[in-house]
Structures are given as C-alpha cells and as structure tokens.
Amino acid sequence: MTSAPRYRPAWVEVDLEAVRHNAALLARLVAPARLCAVVKADAYGHGAPEVAMAAAEGGASLVAVALVEEGVALRAAGVEGEVLLLSEPPPSAMEEVVRRRLTPTLYRHDAIAATARAAKAAGRRVRVQLKVDTGMHRVGADPGALLELARAVLAAPELELAGLWTHLAVAEDPHDPFTDEQLARFEKASRELAGAGIEPGTLHAANSAGAIAHPGARYDLVRCGIALYGHLPSPALAGHLAAALGSLEAAGARPAGAAGASEPGRVEGLRPVLSWKAQVHLVRHLEAGERPSYGRTYELARPGMIGVVPVGYHDGVPRAYGRAGGEVLIGGKRRKLAGTVTMDQVLVDLGDDCSVRPGDEVVLIGRQGAEEITVPEWAERLGTIPHEVLCGIGPRVPRRYLDRPG
C-alpha cells in the first residue's frame, strides 16, 4: 500500500490480531497437518505483507500466492518464509522465481525444463511442487501425465520434488460426493508415484472448506484463504465449524492468549479481520418527491435528510449493492442507500434524523454500537461470495493496520 498522505475520509481497518487468532485456530483445528496462509490478491484486499507476517506469528508454516509478482512483493517487504506459487509461472519468469526463492507449482514439461535451467544457472537446488487435476479442470496435470512429469523433475539434479497437490471444486458443499471422488483420484495419483519409487513430498488438497468440513482432505498441509480472514466459504459450513470448535474444547484446547491456564476454556471462533469505514461528507435536506443521484430511480416519500459518503463503485461499492437495498451504519442505525451508487460517492437516506453531521462515522462493513453489517450480508445481497466482496475493495481506499507486527 502507498504511504502517501490520504485526505479523503474513507478507510479500511485490518485487525492483525484477528489474523493471528484465526491462524492459530486453524492450525489447531487441522493439526498435525500444517497451515498455509493464502495471501494472493494482496491477501484478499487486506494487505499481503502485513497478513503474511501476522499469519506466521499465529502459526502458519508458509504462505501461498498466485503470481510471481506477488511473491516478489512479499520478499521486497521482508517476508522470509516459504512462498508457494499456486499457478505455474511462465518459463520466462523462472529466473526470478529462483532468485526470489519462491516455490513454483509445475504441471508442464517446458516449465520443469525452464526451472531446471534457471536453478542450474543460479547454482542452486530448487524445491518444486506438482499439481494434478482431479476434477476442477482449471490448471494442473492430467493424472495420466503425472508420472512422467515427476520423473522429469527427478531427472534434473537441480530440482527437488517437495510436494503434490490438487484443488477441491465443491468442498463448500459438505454433501456433494464429488469431493470424495476428487480425494480418491488424488490418493490414486499419489500411490502411483509411490509405486514407481517416487516420494511425492508434502501432500495437500484442502482449501478453507476442505479444512473445516472434510478432515480426510487435510493430509500434510491445508491452504486457508477466506477462513484466515474470518469468514466461512459458505453458510453450509457453520455447523461443521461449530462441531470442530466443540472437539477442540473437548480435547482441552486453551483460548488464545491463555496458554498457561490450568483448565480448558471456550474456544472462540473465527474473527472477521476487516472493517470498512468512512465519514459523512455532506448533509442536505430534500423535499418529498425529490429523486437523488443518477437515473433518478429513488424517490423520497417525505421530506428528509440525505447524507453524502465519499466512497463509490470504484472503491468497491457496486451499483448492484444499492439496487439490492444495501445499507450502511451511521449513529448506530442502519441507513439505506438512496439511489444509484456513483463512482466516488454514495447517498444515504437519513429520514427525518437531523442529528447526523459531516464528519460522523459511517460503517460500510463492521460494527457500530449494537448493529453490524457483515461481509456475508454483502455477499448475499449481491449474489456472490465473501471472497469477491473483500477483493472488490479498491486500492484507493487506504488500509490502516491495527496492532501492526513489530
């Protein structure tokens, strides 16, 4: 994130202690498997370097990103631990991958050859992982090609086969049998390597949903993204998480920060990491029948107050959020958006409340008094998933880090 001065009164607060808590909880939940913190897409909009460091402090063994550029940014910010690339880099990027000590995922012969050449030129032995497609059909090697790919890695003395993994397509639906089918395919692929005398290294398949709802998918490592940020991949997993927390309590797990306690305590669940706030920019009175904002789609049924808040669709408030009855919190009360969301501002219907003033706090996501607007609420209104809501908050909304490491 830029360190330039910010003058517009709108910001995101990122609670790094919540990241540590969630990482610690997930690490306990999946043990003895290790936790990989997924911080791609700038940690789902939270800030990748800050989240990576906090997750490591909470118990994550490594982090994962999608792009070489994201791994380079982590190294530039001082992140020293293992960084797994979840997508195969292009051959032209392998010199940078080796230079930055990133762990590439590979699933094509030309990428294996390019990695070996870059490793040889650098005089280093590079850890790599293979990905096998078990039904997601996005990226990864066909199962029938996996053995030859593994042999190609072993034939290059500059490379070390450090892992084998796959990605689950429907783990957020705990009743869909396709997850078990994928796991069976993955285990068959692993057995075929072992039968050929090849040790595949770390085995992993579980995303956040797999880690919570499919204990058999945990293997040696789980890759948690959305759960690290305090949200479930789908509401259907709430019962599974509650059961998992109950198991931790029964096993005598201690609450976070109470390592020295002599008796078990209630295990707190996931904590939302991000809040989105702003300040009222302007308040004006409009007469009944007035239609504020573009398209004049919203009509005031009676005279009342309208507040202007300086965030818009470029910042991550989709126009669809207004059409779906989206709300914000002001003065501890829910207030409906008044009309079309614009690029830089939203209008808020304050009714007959004359107490709201410019500078008052506005909460788009988070808690204010007894009220709370959550990321899942946004997702439900928009017909999407929490991941997209979080990633949609734009870079011109500055991030403020609470309890920054160091």
CATH code of the domain in which 349 resides: 2.40.37.10
Beta-ladder partners of 288: none
Whether residue 226 sits in one domain with residue 103: yes
Whether residue 94 sits in one domain with residue 223: yes
- Within 10 Å of residue 130's Cβ, how many Cβ atoms? 26
* CA–CA separation, 395 and 360 (whole Å): 23
Above 50 in pLDDT, residue 372? yes
Residue 269, in any domain of the structure: no
Residue 385, in any domain of the structure: no
* CA–CA separation, 253 and 59 (whole Å): 15
Residue 255, in any domain of the structure: no
Q: E-assigned strands of 99-220? A: 105-106, 126-131, 159-165, 202-206
**Domains of the chain: total:** 2
Whether residue 172 sits in one domain with residue 69: yes
Would you state the pLDDT for residue 267?
A: 80
Would you state the pLDDT for residue 2?
A: 43
Residue 119, in any domain of the structure: yes
CATH value at residue 211: 3.20.20.10
Residue 406, in any domain of the structure: no
* CA–CA separation, 165 and 302 (whole Å): 60
Active site residues: 40, 294
Whether residue 29 sits in one domain with residue 175: yes
Whether residue 283 sits in one domain with residue 175: no
Q: What is the largest CA-CA distance in the chain?
A: 80
Classify residue 384 as exposed, middle or buried by CB count within 10 Å of its CB (0-12, 13-18, 19+).
middle
* CA–CA separation, 179 and 174 (whole Å): 8
Would you state the pLDDT for residue 255?
A: 44
Check the CA dihedral 239-241-246-247 and report its sign: positive
Looking at residues 272-282, what average pLDDT do you find?
A: 98
Whether residue 95 sits in one domain with residue 184: yes
**What is residue 327's DSSP assignment?**
E
Taking Cα atoms as reference points, which of 64, 34, 33 lies closest to residue 51?
A: 64
337-365 burial by CB neighbour count: b if 16+ within 10 A, else e?
A: bbbbbbeebbbbbbbeeeebeeeeebbbb
Q: Please tell me the pTM assigned to this model.
A: 0.94
Give the model confidence (pLDDT) of 88-120 as tens digits: 999 999 999 999 999 999 999 999 999 999 999
The DSSP H or E segment spanning 23 is helix 16-30
259-290 burial by CB neighbour count: b if 16+ within 10 A, else e?
A: eeeeeeeebeebbbbbbbbbbbbebeebeeeb
Instruction: Say if CB 130 and CB 103 are below 8 A apart.
Output: no
Whether residue 295 sits in one domain with residue 169: no
Whether residue 148 sits in one domain with residue 26: yes
Whether residue 214 sits in one domain with residue 292: no
Domain range enclosing 333: 274-373
Looking at residues 297-310, what average pLDDT do you find?
A: 96
Instruction: Say if CB 267 and CB 284 are below 8 A apart.
Output: no
Instruction: Name, in order, each residue with C-beta under 8 angstroms of 169's C-beta and a sequence gap of 6 or more.
Output: 135, 136, 178, 179, 182
Above 50 in pLDDT, residue 403? yes
Residue 261, in any domain of the structure: no
Residue 31, in any domain of the structure: yes
Helices then strands, counting H and E runs in the chain, come out as 13, 18
Tokens of 359: 């500078």
| Residue 247 phi, psi dihedral angles, 5° rounding | -65, -40
pLDDT confidence bin for 264, thresholds 50/70/90: low
Q: E-assigned strands of 123-179? A: 126-131, 159-165
Instruction: Say if CB 337 and CB 293 are below 8 A apart.
Output: no
- Of the residues 216, 250, 284, the one at which a domain ends: 250
* CA–CA separation, 163 and 218 (whole Å): 14
Whether residue 145 sits in one domain with residue 65: yes
* CA–CA separation, 298 and 294 (whole Å): 9
Above 50 in pLDDT, residue 228? yes
pLDDT confidence bin for 133, thresholds 50/70/90: very high
Cα-based distances in Å from 44 to 39, 128, 200, 304, 348: 7, 25, 30, 38, 27
Instruction: Say if CB 302 and CB 286 are below 8 A apart.
Output: no
- Of the residues 185, 215, 250, the one at which a domain ends: 250
Beta-ladder partners of 302: none
Looking at residues 20-46, what average pLDDT do you find?
A: 98
Above 70 in pLDDT, residue 256? no
Average pLDDT, the chain: 94
Whether residue 49 sits in one domain with residue 109: yes
Residue 382, in any domain of the structure: no
Would you state the pLDDT for residue 142?
A: 98
The DSSP H or E segment spanning 372 is strand 371-373
Tokens of 92: 């032209």
Whether residue 234 sits in one domain with residue 135: yes
Instruction: Name, in order, each residue with C-beta under 8 angstroms of 357's C-beta and a sequence gap of 6 or more.
Output: 280, 283
Instruction: Say if CB 270 and CB 19 are below 8 A apart.
Output: no
